[in-house]
Structure 1
Amino acid sequence: MKKEFYSNGKLLITGEYLVLDGAKAFALPTKFGQNLMVEKGKNQEIKWTSYDSDGSIWFEDTFSFADIINKNISEEESSKRNTLIEILHESYLLNTDFITNSEGYLVTTTLTFPRNWGLGTSSTLINNIAQWLEIDAFVLLNNSFGGSGYDIACAQNNSPILYHLENGKPIVEKVTFEPEFHENLYFVYLDKKQSSKTAIASYYNNKNENLPDNILTINSLTKEVLNAKTLREFATALEEHEAEMSSILELQTIKESLFPDFDGIIKSLGAWGGDFVLVISKENPTDYFKERGFETIVSYQDMIL
């Protein structure tokens, strides 16, 4: 019997990095996501095929149940294969029935966004697997990839969320965010895929002693972003947030490093330096970014669920 599951992609608007330490993060689920389809298989194995949004296969392999139970990974194998075996092994530990009571599976995943966009290839996969096996997606994430879990919350919700960790537990609050100025908001893809694991490790290595104050500041700015009634209020809060994170991370802002002459606000999203940025502009900024080699500009209405 065929089963199908779907999870939303994500964009983290405020609270990047500090969400790992309890800061409140504002995040938006996207209209793009990932499907997972499961059919009955055989031979005590899983045949896995992953499709990109253009229909091309970006991963294809077969795992025996023994590979999953024993977490058979090696440096000689592809990192994608090893990562998937690790996720499936942790899934098995949370629900052994999916191996012990099955003859095998045919699994197909399909992204509705280009894989390099960074909208949550891993988080949508983990949430889909968790739905399939009826296990806790946050626990599965914690046991495999690690991270704050805001992306899992976006995968599961069809509205904007405010997210934080309380004693390590995810707290998800649905919020209303329907800005009248959404026509002035754009998402621009920088075409520099960032590794969440690497970015998180770098953050932890540079964590400073002012963390409690930093969290209070970011929480306050997140509240201002959510409560903004005008484009000016929204832009000012995000500009202050960007400056605060620049100081914490000891990194130049994206606007300073790449677009110093841009007439508007540019806000990094998620791991700094790659994937998408949020652009606030009174005029359509498409020509500006295309002239500089950035071809993917998506409007707020086309991106956000």
Structure 2
Amino acid sequence: MEKIFSFGKILLMGEYAVLHGADALCLPLKTGQELTVTDGPEGKIQWKWKYKDQMLASFSFDAASLEEESNGTANWVVLLMNFIREQNPDFLRQGGKSLEFVNLFPPQWGLGSSSATISSLCRLAGVDPFVVNRQLMGGSGADIACTTAQNWFLYRNGDNGPQTWEIPFNYHFSENTWFVYSGNKMETASHLKSFSSESRYAVSWMQANDFVYRFISVPTLPEAMQITYEHELLIGEAIGKESIANRFRDFPGKVKSLGAWGGDFFMALSLQEPGFVRGYFYNKGYGTVLSWKELTETKYF
């Protein structure tokens, strides 16, 4: 038996701009997804994806041909296996294996189920997960970088390929930062395709770097809130979308989109007490409000 763990992720700043060579601020989480590999029936690959006691997906394939033996709903998995075999043609062709992927967080939260699966399976196969992710999902690869990172970091997908720089100090405002689940799961691959056709490219994407660098080391929370506000304006203008912050004009603080706009989690910064912040979003209909510490340090949700 072999186990491989991949961490979940939050893209704090630099979303969309990172697709054009700018730097992104990435936050790997303690939660994630665990892959357990055991022997299976000869000549077969058994694939299971679970969260707690829920079976989210279950497939069986011929190990050599990858022909599915169930109901033809595993196209994404077959594509993933084929892209891996472009780098390692012998991967799981012989014998039989059972692959069980277990989420430690609700899959609808958008914390990186797909990137965790890609990363874990590529590490099992000994192939480059960034190449496979680019073929299968598109995007910058920042999610893949999070799956093996220990601390928050800067990420760049430039001419020299993916690069990361670990930030050697802790985030300054963890007591004043909240993550709120929007209630809407964003499918990254399809969203990126629509983004590429919708984006107005109205700004220089490298302007986002200024906000990223300032946010990392800003000394006061009011300054951090102003930076997030300006970053939101920049990205909103570039992609032609309205900021989620406009839904919360009466919130005593600042609200920022995270990752793909319109889905998954958004971030709130405020000087208000925890009870006030939670109550504000609960009253707006948002039932999942997590502190920085809760989201970054909890393993099992």
Q: Which bin holds the TM-score, normalised by the shorter protein?
A: over 0.9
% identical equivalent positions? 30
Tell me the distance in 2 between the aligned counterparts of 1:204 and 1:177: 35
Among candidates 32, 57, 60, match of residue 59 of structure 1:
57
Instruction: Map 1:65-84 onto structure 2 (within 5 A).
Output: 65-68=63-66, 72=67, 77-78=72-73, 81-84=74-77
User: Is 1:50 the equivalent of 2:60?
Assistant: no
Tell me the distance in 2 between the aligned counterparts of 1:231 and 1:141: 36
Runs of 4+ in 1 over 4 A off after TM superposition: none
Tell me the distance in 2 between the aligned counterparts of 1:67 and 1:17: 37
- Partner secondary structure for residue 156 of structure 1: coil
- 5+ residue gaps in structure 2? none
Shift in Å, 1:209: 5.1
User: Is 1:205 the equivalent of 2:194?
Assistant: no
CA-to-partner distance for each residue in 1:93-118, whole Å, 9 max, x for gaps?
21122234x21101111001000000
Among candidates 216, 219, 230, match of residue 229 of structure 1:
219
Q: Indicate the RMSD between aligned Cα atoms, in angstroms.
A: 1.6
Tell me the distance in 1 between the aligned counterparts of 2:209 and 2:201: 17
Tell me the distance in 2 between the aligned counterparts of 1:8 and 1:175: 17
Instruction: Map 1:146-165 onto structure 2 (within 5 A).
Output: 146-165=138-157
| Residue pair 2:179, 2:290 contacting (<8 A) in 1 also | yes
Q: Which amino acid aligns with 2:251?
A: F
- Partner secondary structure for residue 304 of structure 1: helix
TM-score (norm 2): 0.92
User: Is 1:292 the equivalent of 2:284?
Assistant: yes
| Residue pair 2:214, 2:227 contacting (<8 A) in 1 also | yes
Tell me the distance in 2 between the aligned counterparts of 1:130 and 1:99: 12
CA-to-partner distance for each residue in 1:221-273, whole Å, 9 max, x for gaps?
111111112111211111110111111122111021x2222111111000001
| Residue pair 2:138, 2:192 contacting (<8 A) in 1 also | no
- Partner secondary structure for residue 97 of structure 1: coil
Count, aligned residues: 292
User: Is 1:3 the equivalent of 2:2?
Assistant: yes
Instruction: Map 1:71-220 onto structure 2 (within 5 A).
Output: 72=67, 77-78=72-73, 81-100=74-93, 102-167=94-159, 169-208=161-200, 210-211=202-203, 213=204, 215-220=205-210
- Partner secondary structure for residue 32 of structure 1: strand
- 5+ residue gaps in structure 1? none
Shift in Å, 1:168: 6.3
Tell me the distance in 2 between the aligned counterparts of 1:210 and 1:268: 19
CA-to-partner distance for each residue in 1:154-188, whole Å, 9 max, x for gaps?
10111111011112611111113423321100100
Among candidates 236, 241, 245, match of residue 231 of structure 2:
241
Tell me the distance in 2 between the aligned counterparts of 1:292 and 1:50: 33
TM-score (norm 1): 0.91
Tell me the distance in 2 between the aligned counterparts of 1:206 and 1:291: 33
- Partner secondary structure for residue 180 of structure 2: strand
Tell me the distance in 1 between the aligned counterparts of 2:197 and 2:75: 26
Q: Which amino acid aligns with 2:257?
A: S
Tell me the distance in 1 between the aligned counterparts of 2:35 and 2:289: 27
Tell me the distance in 2 between the aligned counterparts of 1:48 and 1:250: 40
Tell me the distance in 2 between the aligned counterparts of 1:95 and 1:116: 31
Q: Which amino acid aligns with 2:83?
A: E
Q: Which amino acid aligns with 1:268?
A: S
Shift in Å, 1:133: 1.0
Q: Which amino acid aligns with 2:212?
A: T
Q: Which amino acid aligns with 1:87?
A: L
Tell me the distance in 1 between the aligned counterparts of 2:40 and 2:160: 38
Q: Which amino acid aligns with 2:82?
A: H
Shift in Å, 1:277: 0.4
- Partner secondary structure for residue 261 of structure 2: coil
Tell me the distance in 2 between the aligned counterparts of 1:55 and 1:168: 43
| Residue pair 1:92, 1:99 contacting (<8 A) in 2 also | no
Give the equivalent residue in structure 2 for 1:23.
22
| Residue pair 1:36, 1:107 contacting (<8 A) in 2 also | yes
Tell me the distance in 2 between the aligned counterparts of 1:177 and 1:120: 24
| Residue pair 1:67, 1:85 contacting (<8 A) in 2 also | no
Tell me the distance in 1 between the aligned counterparts of 2:59 and 2:194: 32
